[in-house]
Amino acid sequence: YKINMQELQVMEEIGKGQYGTVQKVYHIPTNVTMAMKEIRLELDQAKLKQILMELDILHKAKSEYIVDFYGAFFIESCVYYCMEYMDAGSLDKLYGNGVPEDVLAKITSAMVKGLSFLKDKLNIIHRDVKPTNVLVNRAGEVKLCDFGVSGQLTQSLAKTNIGCQSYMAPERIHSSEASTYTVQSDVWSLGLAMVELGTGKYPYPVPDKNEQISMFVQLNAIVAGTPPSLPEDKFSEECRDFVAQCLSKRPQDRPTYKQLLDHPFLTKYENVEVDMKSWAEQAFNLRKNEQNEP
């Protein structure tokens, strides 16, 4: 089944990304509310068609830890990507001053399960693990989105992808070769995301407008500095060790997904009920109130 623009009713804008907007849309034939991402690309028809073909394997990416894919189409030089609407939004806007350890455990567990599903079932490396790409709904579910399924799309976007917060592993900074990208690099990004979620702050210096801090300062800190960690007073030894292992400087020292799933931090919380629904509701409401303040 192929989705097209005629079947969609635009409801409202949800967010603005680097490459275009994300809109909440209603798919009339199926009665489903979706999130439609517009990606503006300067590409010819053949390349756009290739992207759609490559995105097609997403129809097989059915997992409770992966945002559902409904279909994609292009109009002129824009690709429109329709996915499950996650009504609490992305983690970067929900973590506030930092999430407690039990919530972090559930988020981490979902992320590792999602990443290992992509790797084992579809042989996909995410390539862009960060809080913005982890979505939450008000049922308390946590799912991954925006992973590198389409080589052509990844390639087309890479040229412009210079964010101000880098989740790149040290070895990625050393080499811009796409071929050196392995799952280990995603494990680094996972560890970095966990520090950010737990502390409420991106842990490296962020380049500013006055260029007091340059991109070089940030990348140098990632490559040459001691990896960041979670504070002892708020996080258990198991939790801190999990992060420390993910943030090993040498990629070969980082654990596999299997090892991460068996790590005491995740096994400890596996049988613990954490009310993720209440957490998501609360985080979402806090965020909404902040937005309404002038």
Q: Which residues are annotated as a binding site?
A: 37
CA–CA separation, 119 and 142 (whole Å): 18
How far apart CA 187 and CA 245 sit, in angstroms, is 9
By CB under 6 A, residue 185 contacts ligand ADP: no
Is 15 a residue that touches ligand ADP (CB under 6 A)?
A: yes
Task: Pick the binder of ligand ADP from 70, 73, 81, 85 (CB under 6 A).
Answer: 85
Is residue 18 close enough to count as binding ligand ADP by CB under 6 A?
yes
Find the part of the chain contacting ligand ADP (CB under 6 A) among 17-25, 186-194, 211-219, 256-264.
Answer: 17-25
Closest residue to ligand ADP using C-beta atoms: 17
Is 128 an annotated catalytic residue?
Answer: yes
Least Å distance, CB 273 to ligand ADP, is 26
Quick one: which of 3, 41, 83, 230 contacts ligand ADP (CB under 6 A)?
83
Tokens 């991460």 sit at which residue? Answer: 260
Nearest approach in angstroms of CB 265 to ligand ADP is 27
| Closest by CA position to 165, among listed 215, 117, 209, 199 | 215
Per-residue x/- track, 123-152, ligand ADP (CB under 6 A): ---------x--x---------xx------
Which one of 14, 25, 61, 72 is in contact with ligand ADP (CB under 6 A)? 14
- Between residues 86 and 266, which has the closer beta carbon with respect to ligand ADP? 86
Alpha-carbon distance values, 43 to 38, 148, 179, 228 (Å): 14, 18, 23, 39
The nearest distance, CB 15 to ligand ADP, in angstroms, is 2
Catalytic residue among 68, 128, 146, 186: 128
Closer to ligand ADP at the Cβ: 86 or 187?
A: 86
Whose Cβ is closer to ligand ADP: residue 38's or residue 241's?
Answer: 38
* Structure token digits, residue 112: 């590792």
Q: At what angle do helices 101-122 and 276-292 cross, to 10 degrees?
A: 100
Contact 95, 25 (CB under 8 A): no
Going by C-alpha positions, the residue among 11, 131, 145, 3 that lies closest to residue 68 is: 145
Give CA separation, 118 vs 123, 126, 149, 183, in Å: 6, 8, 9, 10
Cα 203 to the center of its chain, rounded Å = 17
Does residue 70 belong to the site contacting ligand ADP (CB under 6 A)? no
Among 90, 185, 189, 229, binds ligand ADP (CB under 6 A): 90
Residue list, annotated binding site for ATP = 37
Q: How many residues bind ligand ADP (CB under 6 A)?
A: 19
Q: How far is CA 278 from CA 103, 111, 138, 158, 294, in A?
A: 11, 19, 8, 37, 26
DSSP per-residue string spanning 161-214: ---SS----HHHHH---GGG--HHHHHHHHHHHHHHHHHTS-SS----TT-SS-
Under rule CB under 6 A, residue 193 binds ligand ADP: no
So which residues are the catalytic ones?
A: 128
